[in-house]
């Protein structure tokens, strides 16, 4: 009995091992059953099919991702392309760009970019003058047919229309009507007769002080006249804030700038006065062959001889100006002027209605220029007859309508057509030519806040200019009541 008990106890570990083995084998058999499809019972064809589906899914997903990324990159590139047809296809306010901008991936236009200038101003070859083709001879109206005489004259609608008809010999209004204002002192008239190459600027109503150009070579210092046109108020302001040197002939200097005071301001509005030296540089300095205009708040940081070589002579151009950073259509620019209260809204609308009636279309990629709106703070030009004519016609629009010269620039381009050729360079290069300084004070005029024509009815209000913008008050020889302004889509929050 005792032996059987001991044998029973000694056999228990063996039985447990056998039982564990049976359970393990049963589990392996179950895993190979229909409920546990294990490796033992897996179909090789099914395995290949499953792996193929996974690979196909992954490849398809990668292909779609590559396609989407490619489409996004093309969309972004086309929006910033220099090719007009591609940039025109892009909608600047598209959802794609909005999403990319939200996550910080949308490209921002460059503010400054490298200008491909030559290394040495002394190595620049100055070419011969460009030959005039049409017009060959250009003369100017100097006597006003009404009294008192106005600086811009009393140009009629028919005279304005005839001025756009190109002929070999032309006589046009171009400011500087006798006894109309903006006369120079005799000593300054004598000085500018020697100026063949001019860097010109202007300060009116004391809004700026002269900023000295930098990086100017000795050759350019000898070759160029740096002429700063000022009115009486600005001359007094400069004298009170900056040291003025008077030479032995009585000429006034601030550093490299020769101050050119204008007697008897031609207009009531300082901004309109500022357009005289800016647009009519060839009239103020008739002996000049080339000129570079810069606004009074700017500090030139590039040698002017290198500017002429880069923007005129290298590409055989005679007129160069930067593109506007935001706007391509003058109707866009007009909308921005009204929103920012830069001039009376009804007068801006009236000028635009006249342009619509006369066939000026909104900018599109079909046009020959990348924009109808310039950044006019720098103008680079050779004083050829066609360029002088363009400047006269541009000034006449500023004289007749609003002083916002960017509105009329594109219109005059449209009227002259292919006869007027120009180079419009990227805005980022424009910003690399100068350092922009703040005005000494903000300009503000009551006319900028006018919202309706009824506010002009009271002549004693002082809102209506008496010597400029007269075309806005002359009866226009057509009915403008049915003219509708083109719809405008705001292309940039900053514009």
Query: Where a domain ends, among 108, 135, 154?
Result: 108
Q: Is residue 7 part of a domain?
A: no
Residue scoring higher pLDDT (14 or 402): 402
Question: Which pLDDT does position 33 carry in this prediction?
Answer: 46
The pLDDT tens digits of the residues spanning 460-475 come to 667 889 999 999 999 9
Residues 160, 91: one domain? no
pLDDT value for 167: 97
Residue 1 lies in a domain: no
Question: Over the stretch 79-136, which tens digit does the pLDDT of each residue have?
Answer: 554 444 444 445 444 555 555 555 555 556 678 898 989 989 999 999 999 999 999 9
Q: What whole-number percentage of the chain has pLDDT above 70?
A: 82
- What's the half-sphere exposure (Cβ side, CA atoms, 13 Å) at 398? 27
What is the pLDDT, as a whole number, of residue 90? 52
Rounded Cα distance, 253 and 426, in Å: 34
What do you get for the CA distance between the two ends of the chain, in Å?
110
| Stretch 429-443: mean pLDDT | 86
The residue out of 85, 108, 131 marking a domain boundary is 108
Overall domain count for the chain: 2
Q: What is the mean pLDDT of residues 368-390?
A: 96
- Which pLDDT does position 293 carry in this prediction? 98
Instruction: Answer yes or no: is pLDDT of 26 > 60.
Output: no
Whether residue 488 is predicted with pLDDT greater than 80 in this model: the reply is yes
DSSP-assigned beta bridge partners for residue 172:
140
483 located within any domain:
no
394 inside domain: yes
**Burial classification of residue 296, based on how many CB atoms lie within 10 Å of its CB (0-12 exposed, 13-18 middle, 19 or more buried):** buried
- Determine, yes or no, domain membership for 200: yes
Residue 493 has pLDDT above 70, yes or no: no
Number of neighbouring beta carbons within 10 Å of residue 266: 23
The confidence score (pLDDT) of residue 56 equals 81
Examine the domain organization and report whether 104 and 141 are in the same domain. Answer: no
Q: Which one is predicted more confidently, 57 or 468?
A: 468
Question: Does residue 125 share a domain with residue 85?
Answer: no
What is the per-residue pLDDT for 79? 54
Do 62 and 162 fall into the same domain?
Answer: no
Report the share of the chain in percent with pLDDT over 90: 65
Task: Provide the pLDDT for residue 489.
Answer: 82
Q: What is the pLDDT of residue 69?
A: 80
The answer as to whether 104 is a domain residue is yes
Q: Are residues 383 and 322 in the same domain?
A: yes
Opening angle at CA 388, ends 380 and 307, nearest 5: 10
> What is the C-alpha to C-alpha distance for residues 244 and 242, in angstroms, rounded to an integer?
6
Residue 221 lies in a domain: yes
Q: What pLDDT score was predicted for residue 239?
A: 94
Do 228 and 93 lie in one domain? The reply is: no
Is it the case that residue 194 has pLDDT exceeding 90? yes
The verdict on 89 and 233 lying in the same domain is no
What stretches of 328-465 adopt beta strand conformation (E)? 374-382, 423-425, 434-436
- Looking at residue 92, its pLDDT comes to 44
Measured between alpha carbons, how far is 20 from 337 in angstroms, rounded to an integer?
A: 92
Q: How far apart are CA 330 and CA 82, in angstroms?
A: 20
Looking at the structure, do residues 80 and 128 belong to the same domain, yes or no? no
Same-domain check for residues 205 and 340: yes
pLDDT at 264 (0 to 100)? 94
Identify whether residues 152 and 217 lie together within a single domain: yes
Higher pLDDT, 45 or 369: 369
Average pLDDT over residues 247-260: 97
DSSP string over 272-333: HHTHHHHH-HHHHSTT-SEEEEE-TTEEE-S-HHHHHIIIIITTT-SEEEEEPSS-SSHHHH
**Structural domain of residue 53, as residue ranges?**
43-108
Q: How does the average pLDDT of the chain come out, rounded?
A: 86
Residue pair 169/135 in contact (Cβ under 8 Å)? The answer is yes
Is residue 29 a part of any domain in this protein? Answer: no
Regarding whether 377 and 247 lie in a shared domain, the answer is yes
Let me know whether 100 and 198 are in one domain: no
pLDDT at position 350 over 70: yes
CA dihedral sign of residues 65, 67, 72, 73: positive
pLDDT above 70: residue 44: yes
pLDDT of residue 87: 44
Q: For 142-160, write each residue's pLDDT tens digit.
A: 999 899 999 999 999 999 9
For 8-19, write each residue's pLDDT tens digit. 444 555 555 555
pLDDT tier at 318 (50, 70, 90 boundaries)? very high
Region of poorest pLDDT, from 9-13, 210-214, 253-257, 264-268: 9-13
Q: What is the pLDDT of residue 36?
A: 45
pLDDT confidence of residue 31: 47
Q: What is the mean pLDDT of residues 311-318?
A: 97
């Amino acid at each position: 009995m005792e032996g059987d008990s001991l044998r029973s106890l000694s056999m228990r570990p063996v039985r447990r091992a056998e039982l564990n083995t049976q359970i393990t084998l049963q589990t392996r058999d179950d895993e190979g059953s229909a409920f546990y499809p294990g490796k033992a019972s897996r179909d090789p064809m099914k395995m290949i099919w499953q792996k193929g589906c996974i690979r196909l899914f992954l490849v398809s997903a990668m292909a779609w991702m590559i396609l989407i990324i490619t489409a996004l990159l093309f969309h972004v590139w086309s929006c910033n392309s220099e090719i007009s047809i591609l940039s025109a296809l892009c909608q600047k306010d598209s959802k794609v760009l909005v999403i990319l901008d939200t996550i910080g991936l949308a490209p921002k236009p460059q503010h400054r970019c490298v200008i491909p200038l030559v290394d040495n101003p002394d190595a620049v070859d100055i070419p011969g003058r460009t030959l005039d083709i049409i017009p060959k001879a250009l003369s100017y109206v100097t006597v006003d047919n009404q009294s008192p005489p106005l600086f811009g004259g009393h140009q009629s609608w028919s005279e304005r229309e005839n001025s756009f008809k190109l002929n070999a010999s032309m006589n046009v209004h171009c400011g500087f009507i006798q006894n109309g204002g903006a006369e120079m002192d005799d000593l300054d008239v004598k000085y500018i007769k020697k100026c063949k190459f001019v860097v010109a600027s202007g300060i009116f109503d004391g809004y700026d002080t002269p900023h000295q150009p930098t990086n100017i070579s000795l050759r350019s210092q000898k070759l160029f006249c740096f002429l700063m046109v000022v009115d009486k108020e600005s001359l007094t302001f400069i004298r009170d804030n900056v040291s003025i040197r008077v030479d032995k002939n009585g000429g006034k200097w601030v550093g490299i700038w020769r101050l050119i005071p204008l007697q008897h301001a031609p207009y009531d509005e300082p901004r309109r006065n500022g357009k005289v030296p800016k647009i009519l540089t060839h009239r103020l300095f008739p002996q000049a062959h080339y000129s570079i205009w810069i606004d009074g708040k700017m500090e030139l940081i590039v040698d002017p001889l290198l500017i002429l070589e880069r923007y005129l002579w290298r590409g055989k151009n005679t007129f160069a100006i930067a593109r506007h950073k935001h706007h391509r259509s003058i109707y866009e620019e007009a909308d921005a002027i009204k929103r920012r209260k830069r001039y009376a809204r009804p007068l801006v609308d009236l000028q635009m209605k006249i342009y619509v009636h006369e066939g000026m279309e909104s900018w599109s990629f079909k046009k020959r220029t990348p924009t109808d709106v310039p950044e006019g703070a720098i103008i680079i030009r050779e004083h050829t007859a066609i360029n002088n004519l363009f400047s006269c016609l541009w000034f006449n629009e500023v004289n007749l309508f609003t002083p916002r010269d960017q509105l009329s620039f594109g219109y005059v381009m449209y009227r002259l057509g292919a006869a007027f050729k120009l180079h419009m360079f990227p805005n980022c290069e424009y910003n690399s030519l100068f350092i922009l300084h703040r005005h000494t004070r903000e300009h503000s005029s009551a006319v900028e806040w006018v919202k309706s024509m009824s506010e002009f009815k009271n002549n004693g209000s002082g809102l209506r200019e008496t010597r400029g913008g007269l075309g806005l008050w002359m009866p226009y020889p057509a009915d403008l009541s049915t003219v509708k302004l083109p719809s405008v889509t705001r292309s940039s929050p900053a514009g």
